[in-house]
Amino acid sequence: MNWDETGPDTDERLDERLVQADADGEDTAVEAALRPKDLDEFVGQEKVREQLDLVLKAARARGATADHVLLSGAPGLGKTTLSMIIAAEMGAPIRITSGPAIQHAGDLAAILSSLQEGEVLFLDEIHRMSRPAEEMLYMAMEDFRVDVIVGKGPGATAIPLELPPFTLVGATTRAGLLPPPLRDRFGFTGHMEFYAPTELERVIHRSARLLDVEIDVDGAAEIAGRSRGTPRIANRLLRRVRDYAQVKADGRIDRPVAAAALGVYEVDARGLDRLDRAVLGALLKLFGGGPVGLSTLAVAVGEERETVEEVAEPFLVREGLLARTPRGRVATPAAWVHLGLVPPQHGGKGQQGLFGA
């Protein structure tokens, strides 16, 4: 299936793509079809949208290539979608790659040398790019030029290669890992915030219309409240609730149907999934609420340390259910309440004093 067709989608073409993607079970393709196509259609991130709109309109008015753009924020908030919107607003093609895929300067040189004038290069997880490639990118962003090294040792020669003007859109989930020389070369930096439930409800209603799913206000609110402030998760949960509604109900999504469906998929009322509850459960039941080291906690739930640290922990901390301390991870009083457990009278392993008796 070709998803790189140029030109605006008609309603008929979009419907065909959605139906075909659903029939093939291609969740990724459905996600792509649900992406907003312009800034007016993009829900949320009001400040970033307003600022980016000015940057793009000014560039178009000058007949120039847009400044380089850095987008930071948690996964699923719309960084990739905004990069595609930037290309669409500028009437330019887009090239997509990622930091981990560029491990050598030659990898980056090959990509840059094949860019067309005005093209948008989207570099996801830019903070994970190798240092040699990063240093080459400095010159490419500032002077639209790279030096290609031919040969080795004393006989090596640097051949300058001129590049057509292009727009780099970098995306990162960890902006603090970007070196200042790279960060300073971006003309615009936008930080993506988590979505409020009302914004997620708008996302869900829009996606439901595109998917031809009937959903009421309460049903959308139930899904939004369990979506962790993230549109990608909201769309994924909507599709799973749709499946449940088609099989177990009359196809219409209301609050009871949404709640029952998300119960089947182990997503609770606060958006915690199986891994989140496993981490909290181990912390409370096995370690008395902590403190406990991250590696020990990961072993207790049978997951890799990185999975617990990068997938479960940020949400649990943001929800006020878990805290990082110098002595290890500690459950908050709200964690005991959420899992319906009674904390030890004197706290676990010195927990008293961190949160009180």
Q: What is the CATH number of the domain that holds 185?
A: 3.40.50.300
In a domain, 114, yes or no: yes
- Could you tell me where the beta strands, DSSP code E, fall in the chain? 69-72, 94-98, 120-124, 145-150, 157-162, 167-172, 188-191, 214-215, 252-253, 322-325, 328-331
Same domain, 257 and 278: no
Distance of CA 307 to CAs 136, 273, 314, 330, Å?
32, 14, 11, 18
How many Cβ atoms from other residues are within 10 Å of residue 253's Cβ? 27
Could you tell me the CATH number of the domain that includes residue 202?
A: 1.10.8.60
**Token pair 């199986």 is at which residue?**
274
Same domain, 185 and 68: yes
Same domain, 133 and 178: yes
Tell me what pLDDT residue 26 has: 53
Q: Tell me how many domains the chain contains.
A: 3
Does 349 qualify as catalytic in the annotation?
no
Q: Which of 264, 285, 308 is the last residue of a domain?
A: 264
Same domain, 183 and 56: yes
In a domain, 347, yes or no: no
Task: Considering the candidates 17, 65, 80, 332, report the single residue annotated as catalytic.
Answer: 80
Task: Considering the candidates 17, 232, 242, 329, report the single residue annotated as catalytic.
Answer: 232
Tell me what pLDDT residue 310 has: 84
- Could you tell me where the beta strands, DSSP code E, fall in 119-275? 120-124, 145-150, 157-162, 167-172, 188-191, 214-215, 252-253
Could you tell me the CATH number of the domain that includes residue 317?
A: 1.10.10.10
Does 198 qualify as catalytic in the annotation?
no
Same domain, 138 and 212: no
Same domain, 123 and 233: no
Same domain, 166 and 292: no
Does 285 qualify as catalytic in the annotation?
no
Tell me what pLDDT residue 355 has: 41
Tell me what pLDDT residue 151 has: 55
Task: Considering the candidates 79, 226, 242, 329, report the single residue annotated as catalytic.
Answer: 79
Does 296 qualify as catalytic in the annotation?
no
Task: Considering the candidates 124, 167, 228, 329, report the single residue annotated as catalytic.
Answer: 124
Range of the domain at 62: 35-191
In a domain, 128, yes or no: yes
230 contact partners, CB below 8 Å, separation of at least 6: 74, 75, 76, 77, 194, 195
Task: Going from the first residue of the chain to its last (357 residues), give the mean pLDDT of each consecutive group of 10, the final group possibly shorter.
Answer: 40 46 54 80 88 91 89 89 90 88 82 87 88 84 77 64 88 86 88 92 91 90 91 92 89 90 89 89 87 89 86 88 89 89 63 40
In a domain, 18, yes or no: no
Tell me what pLDDT residue 16 has: 45
Distance of CA 73 to CAs 30, 228, 310, Å?
23, 14, 13
Helix (H, G, I), strand (E, B) or coil at 96: strand
Same domain, 50 and 177: yes
Same domain, 150 and 231: no
Tell me what pLDDT residue 288 has: 86
Q: Which of 143, 174, 191 is the last residue of a domain?
A: 191
Tell me what pLDDT residue 149 has: 66
In a domain, 17, yes or no: no
In a domain, 92, yes or no: yes
Tell me what pLDDT residue 202 has: 92
In a domain, 29, yes or no: no
Q: Which of 191, 216, 238 is the last residue of a domain?
A: 191
Task: Considering the candidates 173, 185, 236, 329, report the single residue annotated as catalytic.
Answer: 173
Same domain, 211 and 322: no
Task: State the pairing for strand pair 120-124/145-150.
Answer: unpaired
Same domain, 68 and 171: yes
In a domain, 14, yes or no: no
Does 232 qualify as catalytic in the annotation?
yes
Same domain, 44 and 185: yes
How many Cβ atoms from other residues are within 10 Å of residue 180's Cβ? 7
